[in-house]
Amino acid sequence: MFGLSELAILLIVVIAVIGARKLPELARSAGKSARILKAEARAAKDEEAGAAPRVVQGEIVPPGTGTTPPGARAADAPDPR
């Protein structure tokens, strides 16, 4: 029958024939992912280097005194009793 090396060569040829159509799309996707990763790493480095942390002002509401946010289910609302 076939030896291990013949099966490996056959598998490589089959993958090359079947994957030839998908190869450009795969390379394009890998390039886009690499660009995104590079940009995110650069942004993280810039943020770490000297930018002060951003402070978001909010309002403190004690539990049970707030209103039910829009879109919340009635089951999530506090019991009115």
pLDDT of residue 79: 59
CA dihedral 29, 30, 33, 38 (to 10 degrees): -150
pTM: 0.40
What's the pLDDT at 68? Answer: 62
For the stretch 19-68, pLDDT in tens is 777 878 888 999 999 999 999 998 888 777 766 667 778 877 777 776 66
HEC assignment per residue over 16-43? HHHHCCCHHHHHHHHHHHHHHHHHHHHH
